[in-house]
Structure 1
Amino acid sequence: MVRFDNVGLRYGMGPEVLKDLTFSIAPRSFQFLTGPSGAGKTTLLRLILLSLKPTRGLISIFGTDVSQIAGDSLTTARRRMGVVFQDFRLLDHLTTYENVALPLRVQGKEEASYRAEVVELLRWVGLGERMHVLPPVLSGGEKQRAAIARALIVRPELLLADEPTGNVDPNLGRRLLRLFIELNRLGTSVIIATHDFGLMDQVDARRLVLAEGRLHIYD
């Protein structure tokens, strides 16, 4: 599903921030991406999302070299992924319900075909009473949950989650983790970037550890 071969990344003429990354993400797999602040976790996720290009090395996503992905092919590849960003990226003029349903609307689906599923997911993440309010009214934790619901509603082949439990209490964090685990059981490959060792200790999963720009893998 994802393959990196000797990938390096630098900004401008500066030193490499990621060095000699070689690893693969198998279909239906579950892994945590961790490491100290500034190690490059978000940068690595952006490479997988195709919003950054490597300085050197080869990356393939869904079996295609990223250097060959552009235009409509880029859009198609990204639609196969679900992404939870740290800054949420909700649209302030749309309600919580409309934000979560937006990926389905973009795909051209009729509301009647997905309304019940969106409502059920919002209730599951604790936003059943907040589905008709606008994002500026939501707390940081509520925005986080809305962003997670939006990423999951399309049942992606690959889920990238950047600190998805960073703004919620531990109990809700465990509940969201169970949601990620269930999505994985249904066939989605999951990559969760986190500093939370308590969260990681709840799952017997592969760990990708970034330190000083290099990746160490613990299966």
Structure 2
Amino acid sequence: MIHFENVGLRYGMGPEILRDLTFDIPKKSFQFLTGPSGAGKTSLLRMLFMSLQPTRGLIRMFGRDISEIPRPELPLLRRRVGIVFQDFRLLDHLTTYENVALPLRVRGKDESSYKTDVLELLKWVGLGERINVLPPVLSGGEKQRAAIARALMDRPEVLLADEPTGNVDPPMAKRLLNLFLELNRLGTAVVIATHDLALMEQVEARRMILSEGHLDIYD
């Protein structure tokens, strides 16, 4: 599904922060991405989301070399990838319900086709009583859960999550992990970037460890 070959990344004229990354993300796979702060995990996720181009090397997404994809086609390809960044990116003028439903609204789907699914997912992530609340009123953990729910709404082929349990308590972290696992069982490949060793120990999954610009993989 995703293939990186000798990928390198630098910002401006600085040194390479990622070097010679070669790996695959298979269909229906589940993996943790970890490593020290500043190792480049978020940059790697951005390349996986096709919002950041590598300095060198080959990236193939769904069988296509991303360097050859016309810019107007990238948004369509990104619809196949769900992503949760640490800054949440919720729209402050929309309610929790409206933020979560936004990907489907943008695609022109009728609300009757997704309303029940949105409400059930919000209940699952503990926001069933917060559906009509605007993001400025939500806590950091609630914003995190709303962002996760939005990423899951479109049933992506790949889910990328950057510290998805960083702002929630351990019981909610376990609940969210179970949600990711269920999504994986339904066929979505999952990549979770995290520092949470306790979270990773709950699942026998592939570990991708970034350190000093290099990536080591342990299946």
Deviations 1:78-129 (A, max 9, x none): 0001110100000000000000000000111000110000000000000000
2-side partners of 1:130 and 1:166: how far apart? 20
Report the more deviating stretch, 56-65 or 67-76. Answer: 67-76
Deviation at 1:11, TM superposition (A): 1.1
Asked whether 1:208 is paired with 2:214, we answer: no
Asked whether 1:146 is paired with 2:146, we answer: yes
Deviations 1:150-209 (A, max 9, x none): 000111000000000000000000000000000000000000000000000000000000
Q: Secondary structure at the match of 2:192?
A: strand
Deviation at 1:63, TM superposition (A): 0.7
- The one-letter amino acid of 2:88's match is F
Instruction: Please give the TM-score of this superposition, normalised by the length of structure 2.
Output: 0.99
2-side partners of 1:144 and 1:160: how far apart? 14
Match of 1:161 in 2: 161
Where do 5+ consecutive residues of structure 2 fail to align?
none
Asked whether 1:42 is paired with 2:42, we answer: yes
2-side partners of 1:135 and 1:17: how far apart? 34
2-side partners of 1:160 and 1:36: how far apart? 18
- The one-letter amino acid of 1:51's match is S
Q: Secondary structure at the match of 1:42?
A: helix
- The one-letter amino acid of 1:116's match is T
2-side partners of 1:56 and 1:82: how far apart? 25
Match of 2:83 in 1: 83
- The one-letter amino acid of 1:124's match is W
Q: Secondary structure at the match of 2:93?
A: coil
Structure 1: which 4+ aligned runs deviate by more than 6 Å? Answer: none
Match of 2:58 in 1: 58
Superposed CA RMSD in Å reads 0.6
Where do 5+ consecutive residues of structure 1 fail to align?
none
Deviation at 1:68, TM superposition (A): 1.3
Deviation at 1:71, TM superposition (A): 3.0
Match of 1:96 in 2: 96
Asked whether 1:128 is paired with 2:128, we answer: yes
Deviation at 1:14, TM superposition (A): 1.0
Match of 1:173 in 2: 173
Report the more deviating stretch, 67-76 or 39-48. Answer: 67-76
Deviation at 1:73, TM superposition (A): 1.7
- How many residues align? The count is 219
Deviation at 1:70, TM superposition (A): 2.6
2-side partners of 1:95 and 1:173: how far apart? 23
2-side partners of 1:71 and 1:4: how far apart? 20
Deviation at 1:130, TM superposition (A): 0.2
Report the more deviating stretch, 97-106 or 7-16. Answer: 7-16
Q: Secondary structure at the match of 1:28?
A: coil
Instruction: Please give the TM-score of this superposition, normalised by the length of structure 1.
Output: 0.99
2-side partners of 1:95 and 1:214: how far apart? 41
1-side partners of 2:196 and 2:70: how far apart? 35
Q: Secondary structure at the match of 2:18?
A: strand
Deviation at 1:72, TM superposition (A): 3.3
- The one-letter amino acid of 1:217's match is I
Asked whether 1:5 is paired with 2:43, we answer: no
Match of 2:70 in 1: 70
Match of 2:22 in 1: 22
